[in-house]
Chain A
């Protein structure tokens, strides 16, 4: 022991161990950056053009395999298998590969970088790839060709004629439509119609009535308002609905475009001040500012809170926790005095974006797959399994039974008519959105005032992509 050789060897091992430790610690961060070294040529296959054949407008060849990737989230992925079977039937012998996953980025980012993306994919969920990033990298196909293609149920109409308002806009970046958002979502307040009936409360039409009702609800020993505090964008559904109704559709457009001057519009301050009355009245469910969506929505289902903001996926998401006689109902955000938009106006938009990569091998097949999703039968099957509406106008067969929440949101969509708005910045301006979320989180904790919230939102417009 203790000879020079012995010492050297021990020292060597010790150093090797230290290096290994270093590597283990650093790899997780750095390896994340290792992109594929795939082909860097900018060659994307020629965009399919519309042929004369209304049965097969994109010229799909049955011999080409179709590669489909579906986000397997709240809606599952069984609905996609129905569409895939229809595709196989229409193009006999076509080989369709299906991947249902929650890790869209994890699975697809390397494939995009290597230049071998799927033919069509559902870009949703917490790990969705950012549409703005994909578009600026030239990775997506312009879907205008799909809009001009004939509608399968009635070839005299084009696809663009049978989509609900806002669908095209939602998928549009820099003037071109890159994603078909298949699910039609409405955003607003949700409550239990049964609870309201039992207590004799009427759903409020104006924000003043809402605040008064909050007082009544609190006096009855129930928290008036819960929200998904850990993810502040849910609270933003309410703030920005108030702002849109007060300021009108032009203001919505400007805010989506990260226009700095939009934040000087008095409607912005009016909207957030109205929202702040919830905090001033101490109407929040205790602890809701730190809760996840699951925690707060479960508390709401248990009757601990009366109202909660969400999109119309809520009913399907909470199926297991909702009591049978809950009678979930949707309420468009109540109106302020001198609103520019009618009280029925609501934040509605298409979600669950389906995209066709520009470097896909079977682009025609990807487009055809999207066209097949937009049939009344296909849409009905989706509505029945996912308890959510699709962007197809009048897209539910009469014999499909609807759950109470879906029924009530369908009624709200009908009442709103063409007056809907959509804050697409939540999907398209993510850096700006993150700043606004931070500001909202400070606001609900009463760490900043509505005036400070406005100036932080204004400053955040500098994060425009």
Chain B
């Protein structure tokens, strides 16, 4: 019935594609247009200024710094989250003591699975409030309180965590990884459970250790899930706006101290809302769009492997 395929697909796609064009593609195109103007964001008047915004952008040290920070997020977030999630998923599903009842997770794995998923249920706003309490810069903070009680930190000079120029961004990354691992744990768990048990049992009979089964069986068969996770996380790394803007110091959307935790999204918002440089902010948006686009395409291509059907 091949000849009926096209109308069938079209029938399903007309409405979503129309919505997609109106709500996504059209705003994108508008953004490209605005990025070529000196639009203030507060009126409908603007002048066409060509590529001036873009040339200014790549001379703006704050923007280049923000770009570097986003690239750091891009490397660290997917790597840390996926590795942790894979490790936990493996332990919960097939990492248990071998020998007795075939392949199983560590003891209490059902319980752990629920616990690990908890952070995913929390909204970003709650995460931010929660971790501002954890990172609080006096002895009322969870970490400082413990460290002071243990005598590691001087009560009169507690650590400044998210306000620290070197570690501020890392503190935020810790929160993102903490909140994300649970979701990918569940994603990988589901994928692992669809791997037939007899493959593992065969490997175990042949005397394979946990490490071997992980690298020779689990990882190759999970590849598609990992690939999806990578794309999701890479895109999350290009955003991270809510946490950075609320957790780091600075009056207009955080990013401090002194741009040390600045990311493109906070810089964009500050220029758009606070400084009234909406055209310039749109140029940033366009740059972010292209980086995200290239990243997604590249990571989907590079990670393409031969599919194993089972």
A23 and B20 alpha carbons, distance in the complex (Å): 9
Name which residue of chain A comes closest to B265, CB basis.
Answer: A29
Point out which of A1, A28, A139, A230 has the most chain B C-beta atoms below 10 A from its C-beta. Answer: A230
Q: B309 to A430, Cβ gap below 8 A?
A: no
Contacts of A134 in B (CB 8 A): 42-43
Interface string of A28-43 (1 = CB under 8 A from B): 1111111111111010
Whole-angstrom CA separation of A282 from B157 in the bound complex: 10
Are A33 and B44 touching (Cβ within 8 A)?
A: no
A282 to B156, CA, bound (A): 9
Contact between A136 and B40, CB atoms less than 8 A apart: yes
In the bound assembly, the distance between CA atoms of A303 and B274 in angstroms comes to 35
Mark contacts of B215-249 with chain A using CB atoms, 8 A cut-off: 1 yes-contact digit, 0 otherwise: 00000000000001001100110110100000001
Partner of B275, one of A114, A127, A130, A295: A130
Among B156, B270, B272, B274, the residue within 8 A (CB) of A286 is: B156
Query: What is the distance, in angstroms, from A347's C-beta to the closest C-beta of chain B?
Result: 18
Contact residues of A between 426 and 440, Cβ < 8 Å to B: 430-431, 434, 437-439
- Answer whether residue B119 sits at the interface, using C-beta atoms and an 8 A cutoff: no
Residues of B contacting A285 with CB < 8 Å? 138
Residue among A21, A24, A33, A438 with most chain B CB within 10 A: A33
Q: Are A35 and B39 in contact (CB under 8 A)?
A: yes
Most buried by B among A28, A29, A105, A229: A29
Is A291 close to B, CB under 8 A?
yes
Contacts of A113 in B (CB 8 A): 42-44
Residue B281 interfacial (CB < 8 Å) = yes
Chain B window 261-293, contacts with chain A (Cβ cutoff 8 Å), 1 for yes, 0 for no: 000010011101111101001100110110011
B45 at the interface (CB under 8 A from A): yes
Quote the shortest CB–CB distance from A124 to chain B (angstroms).
14
* A289 in contact with B45 (CB, 8 Å): no
Q: Are A290 and B161 in contact (CB under 8 A)?
A: yes
Question: Which chain B residues lie closer than 8 Å to A17 at the CB level?
Answer: 228
A30 touches B31 (CB 8 A): yes
- Chain B's interface size range is 35 or more
Interchain CA distance A465-B274 in the complex, whole Å: 12
Given contacts A139-B43, A430-B275, contact A28 B137 (CB under 8 A): no
Q: Is B105 at the interface (CB under 8 A from chain A)?
A: no
Residues of B within 8 A of A231 (CB): 249-251
- Contact across chains for A27 and B42 when beta carbons are under 8 A apart: no
A287 touches B158 (CB 8 A): yes
Question: Closest CB of chain B to A113's CB: distance in Å?
Answer: 5
B residues 153-170 with Cβ under 8 Å of A? 155-158, 160-163, 165
Contact assessment for A36 and B44 in the assembled complex, using a CB-CB cutoff below 8 Å: yes
Contacts of B158 in A (CB 8 A): 286-287
Task: Let me know if A445 and B257 touch, CB within 8 A.
Answer: yes
Assess whether B252 is in contact with A287, with CB atoms less than 8 Å apart: no
Interface membership of A138, Cβ < 8 A: yes
Say if the beta carbon of A199 comes within 8 Å of chain B: no
Contacts A33-B30, A442-B257; A28 near B40 (Cβ below 8 A):
no
Chain A to chain B contacts (Cβ below 8 Å), 9 pairs = A17-B228, A25-B239, A29-B288, A29-B289, A35-B278, A137-B276, A438-B259, A439-B258, A441-B250
Given contacts A25-B292, A230-B163, A291-B136, 13 further A-B contacts (CB under 8 A): A21-B296, A32-B281, A35-B41, A112-B42, A130-B274, A133-B276, A137-B43, A139-B43, A230-B249, A434-B252, A438-B250, A438-B259, A445-B160
